[in-house]
Every structure is written in structure tokens, then in C-alpha cells.
Chain A
Amino acid sequence: MSRHFFIESTIRAFARALSRALASEQLVTHRGVLQAFDPRVRVAGVFSLVVASTVSRRLWVIAFLLVAAVLLALSSGIRLQTLITRVWLIVLGFTGVIALPAILITPGITVVSFGGLAVTEQGLRAAALLILRVETAVTLTTTLVLCTRWTHILKSLRTVRVPTEVVTMLAMTHRYIFLFIETANQMFESRQSRMIGALSGSEQRRVASRTAGVLLSKSIDLSEEVYLAMQSRGFRGDMQLITEFRMQALDYAGLAGFLALACAAAWMGR
């Protein structure tokens, strides 16, 4: 593929990455620490640790939670390389963009200055706090998603009283995002098969905006069709689900452990 086809290659890469990330089945069946617990315990436990890392204001407490998250990931069969490439570097890239100005614009004690800009101690602390929090939260949620079937996560959310509408929306998003990425990919491929030579940047942008318009129109049609298909099978606005989970002694112990750790971290980091 020509290097000029930036949008196509981005969509393809995105489709591949998403497919790998969301459809990973190997780790789900791995006999790891997180997999040993009932999915509801996993969801509640990870959620409580994410909340603890978000409310904590002390760097060392968040760093401790990050270490705990990494140990949990490793003991659940996730490789360190996966964490580095799929989580930490990506999060660092995105969060870094937001954190970088904070280093320079936060007033406080100057650590180093150059070209009229001053890096302050408070700025560094604010940036570190933000990056550490996001790294911890994403490490925890990635571990949960990789080690738990998506269906079990959705069912767990329902059993912990997350509204049906939210769970249904998540399920639908997960289901149809693949379809739309595939459709977008096919649209680009079909255009490419009828095209000779490369397009200029402005033409590419025009094609991309038209494609986005067509996809939006298709998505509206599809959502109407899906709603009809749901109605046809008796859907009346209240989603009914089967829950087959059973809590064992280990699950109660695990839940207590997660909650105790989260509460301790929140209290220490206040």
C-alpha cells in the first residue's frame, strides 16, 4: 500500500488492533490469579482499585497501586511486553501530550529553566500524578478486559446494578464497532480497486469526509434495523439476561481483599 493512503492504513491497523484487543480468548482461559475469581468480583475489585488510584493524592500510594496492578497482570498471565507496548507507551503518549504543558505552566519552585520557560516542582508533580493515575487505571482495566470474557463483564455490570440501558449500549458498541470498521475498510478497498495513482492530501480528505458521511447514514439505517430485529423477538425496552454466576468462599475472600486494598489506598492517599 502506498504511504499516501494514511487513512486506509490507519483504519486497517485500528481494525487489527481492536480485533486483537477485544477478541483475545487465550488469557480468559488461563489459570491465573484474576481468572480464579467470579467475574463480578473481578469487575468490583478492579473498579474499586481504579477509584482508589483516582482519588489518591499521594504519588507513592498511586505508585504502590501501579505495582499491585502490574503484579496482578503478571500473575494473571499477561506478559510484561504486552503491558509495555499496549498500555504504558500508548498511555504515556496520550497523557504526555496533556501533562507536558502542566510541567511548564504550573507556578511553583523552579527546578530548571530554559528559553524563558521554567519547569517547576509542582508542575512535575502534577504531571507525574496524572500519568501515574492513568497508567494505573488503564493497567487495571486492560487486565480485567484481557482476563474476562466480554459477556461476563457485561453480565457482571448488570448484577452490580449498572442500568440495563448502559449495559445494552456497551454490548451493542462492542458488537457493531467491528461491523463498521469492516465496512469502512471495504469502502476504502473498493475505492482503491477503481483508482489509478495516488490522491492528493486534499482529495484524500474529501474522500474521507464523504466516507464518514456514508458510514453515518449506514449506521443510522443499521441501528433502526437492529431495533426492529430486537422488537421482533419481544424486546420491550427492558433487557432480560441469564446470570449463571455463583459466589464461592474464595470469591468472598477475593472481594474483601480488593476492597480492603482499595480502602487502605484511598485513606493513605487522602
Chain B
Amino acid sequence: MAPIFELQNVSFDYDGIPALQSLSLGFEQGQRVALIGANGSGKSTLLRLLDALYFPRAGSIQFMGEPLTQERLQNDTVNLNFRRQVGLVFQNPDVQLFNPTVFDEVAFGPLQLRWPKAEVLQRVNETLELMGILHLKERPPHRLSGGEKKKVALASILVIDPQVLLLDEPTAALDPKSQSQLVDQVQGWKSTSKTVISATHQLELLEDIADVVYVMQNGDIVASGTPAQILSHKDLLTQANLIHAHRHSHGGIVHSHAHSHRHLHDDHGDEVK
């Protein structure tokens, strides 16, 4: 199957500070991909390039075999068609929630995509119900809790039912129950043709949300593989600042071992999950 996104030698910088360096990779349709890496490794920048919010300084990106360029997206039809198919959930929900009510927020995307108003009303209500936030419909987003804001941000993208979902730290600020609901949702998309690309620090989620993992460091892909392959590569994870030596004591004995939020306690001989 042809890749849904194909990147060729893509580089990007912020006023001369390099963020991505000559990156070449492809994402297949229906794939669930996780981008992992420490802060500043280029994960969010890559997602924004895939969402055509930024454009490469060098190299090229193709979406479904067509070049993804600023010039092409100036065309309303091309732009609306692309936005209809690709949705990005931002890391900070506050930048994504700019409408006066939750209902308006979720309706914003479909309305900009020129959907018929009756369909917008129906789809927004369905999505709010699906996300369990129908009761927040008339509330202003800025008065919600962090977890609720994240759910509204996710609902505002899910409502357009995009083929490609780009999730930037999707579980950040979510309580364990909401986190588990989101993971269930991503797992549910496995049987569909949706492509889900998530940027995350949370190694414990990898096996649930991804089939393929890319490890990013200094704007480059330093490794890729299945979640099991990547998680077993502790040197790599340490080098990418995803796990670290953790000192603590059991009774009177102080010792250290590799540690991440996945609880890689196998140095003890027992793994605590």
C-alpha cells in the first residue's frame, strides 16, 4: 500500500535553531505510530509539518502521493480536502479551545469545512455524547478542568472523523480513567483504516497505542521498530533520555536501576506494573 505520508530529507528550523534534520520516513495508511523522544527532540514539529501548519525548509512531504506545499494549500478545495482528512490534537488544549462554549468549539471544524448545519448539529451532539461530555455543552471551555479540556480538544477533532489523527501528548493531563478511555479509543481504531500518529513520552502506553515506534533525538529518527523491540532496547532509551538511573532504598539498602514511567524494574528481577 502507498504511504499516506512520505517525507524525503525534511529539515526544519526555528530562526536558525534546527528542529528536524534531513528526515526521511513514510507512514502507511491504517498504521498506528508512536513518536517517542525527550523534550525538544522534534516530535511536535514533525506533527505540525504533517498537519501542513509548518512547511519544510528543505526536503519534501507528500500526502497521498501529492506534494504537501504551501502553494497547493492556498487553493480552497485542496485545503478543505486536506483538513477534512487530517486532524491534529495539540499538546496544550488551551491553544485549541478558543470558542465561547464547548458546543461551539466542537462545531468549529465542521462549520469551517462548510458542512450543512443540520449535519453539524447532529455530529456535534453525537461526538459530545461519545466522549461523555454532553453535559458540558454550554460551558465555556476555559472553566473546565485539565482533563475535560483535553476531552473537548479531542472531540473537536474526532467530530470531523479524519482519516489521519495526529495526537500530540494525547494523555497528558488526563486522569487514569480518561487515559484508559483514550487508549480504548485508539485501540478501537485499529480495525478501521485510520492512521494514528501519536507523540508521547509515556512508554507504558506504547504497546496499546502503536504498532510502530520511532525514537527521535535532536530532530532525527535514531531507531524504529515494534513497541516490544524498542522497549527492550534499554541503552537506546537511556541515550534518548526516555529512561534514567533511579536511586532509591528498600529498607536500609540503597540501589539504582533503569527507570521510566513504564516501571522497567527488571534489574530487580521483578517487574512492577
Residues on A facing B (Cβ under 8 Å): 23, 149-151, 154, 171-172, 174-176, 178-179, 222, 225-226, 228-236, 240-242
Contacts and interface: CB of A to CB of B under 8 A. Distances in A.
Given A176-B98, A230-B108, A233-B156, 9 more contacts: A151-B104, A175-B141, A179-B94, A226-B98, A233-B112, A235-B108, A240-B112, A240-B114, A241-B104
A239 to B, nearest CB: 8
B258 interface: no
A149 B139 CA distance: 10
Interface residues of B, number: 39
Contacts of A174: 100
Contacts, number: 81
B120 A229 contact: no
Nearest to A231: B53
A226 B111 contact: no
B5 to A, nearest CB: 15
Interface of B: 48, 51, 53, 76, 79-80, 83-84, 87-88, 90, 92, 94-101, 104, 107-109, 111-114, 117, 120-121, 138, 140-143, 156-157, 160
Contacts of B84: 234
B19 to A, nearest CB: 15
17 contacts: A23-B140, A171-B100, A175-B141, A179-B142, A222-B94, A225-B92, A228-B48, A230-B108, A231-B53, A232-B87, A232-B90, A234-B80, A234-B112, A235-B108, A236-B79, A240-B112, A241-B104
B47 to A, nearest CB: 10
A229 B101 contact: no
Contacts of B76: 236
Main secondary structure of the interface of A (DSSP, over half): helix
Contacts of B143: 23
B116 to A, nearest CB: 11
Contacts of A176: 98
Contact of A242 (B79, B107, B141): B107
Main secondary structure of the interface of B (DSSP, over half): helix
A240 B100 CA distance: 14
B82 to A, nearest CB: 9
The 5 closest A-B pairs by CB, nearest first: A234-B112, A240-B111, A233-B109, A225-B95, A234-B83
Contact of B88 (A171, A175, A232): A232
B98 A230 contact: yes
B166 to A, nearest CB: 9
Given A171-B100, A175-B100, A226 B95 contact: yes
A231 B97 CA distance: 13
